[in-house]
Amino acid sequence: MADERIRIDFDGAIATMTVTRPEKLNAFDIDMLKALASACDRVEADRDVRVVILTGEGKAFSAGGDIKAWGGMEPAAFGHDWVRLGHRVFERLATLRMPVIAALNGHALGGGLELAAAADIRIAEKQVKIGLPETGLGMVPGWSGTQRLVARFGAQIVRRMVLGGEMFSAEEARAEGLIDAVTETGMVMPAARDYAAQIAKRGPAALEISKLMIASASGEDRGAAVEALGSILVAKTGDLKEGVAAFSEKREARFKGDW
């Protein structure tokens, strides 16, 4: 049975994924991580979807990982079953074929900020606070806080959050490049939908390829991005069609260099 704490709503070209565990400030446990991965698979399989909005229910976007879910784990299980799983799931989100907008309706802390960082665009309400408080608990960011965040926002701002424990308001985060836009309280979803509608008007193939090119240029997922772009190009060639036909017909291929 699907985990209802990750809800998907479809509206034409826009899919909205909502984390619905407000009583725990939308903190994640293992089942929710797996549900988020399944939600990514579902929206990516729908060719009508051109943009995804990711948000939370209630007062928080996400407080990150539920301490009760990982606090009692043995070190090996913590590393393999928690940290590596979170990495795989957030990478799945970051590499969706379509653009993702994180609509920060509330605070994004620790894993919640790492979740938001996996999106392409971040819009936050003015009361939102963001930060990486893990070292205050004696642990380190584990879901790409020292990796993807450094690649996207720069090392110094991440040092301030991780080493100094600094928290930023939405406006401060926007000034530092962590957030792309700030709205009034209660207005982040209309703003996200407007931006999503703007994206959805653009060429979906161009959006997908541009996202891959940007990932490659920024050093994120470079190998996979290059191979995906090459495969898309080759898949459109006459040579590939000839190669597949020759294999099926058990004959030698007669390539003509057809693009």
Q: Look up tokens 């392409």; give the residue.
A: 120
Q: Which amino acid is at 188?
A: V
**Which phi and psi angles does 56 have, rounded to 5°?**
-125, 160
Closest Cα partner for 33 from 87, 71, 80, 103? Answer: 87
DSSP string, 89-144: HHHHHHT-SS-EEEEESSEEETHHHHHHHTSSEEEEETT-EEE--GGGGT----SS
| 65 SS3 class | strand
Residue tagged active-site, from 44, 57, 74, 114 = 114
Which residue of the set 91, 134, 208, 220 is catalytic?
134
35: nearest Cα among 14, 56, 58, 17:
17
208 carries an active-site annotation: no
Tell me if residue 220 is catalytic.
Answer: no
- Kindly provide the residue ranges of all beta strands, DSSP E only, lying in the chain, ordered along the sequence: 6-11, 14-19, 51-56, 60-62, 100-104, 107-109, 121-125, 129-131, 168-169, 181-183
Catalytic residues: 114, 134
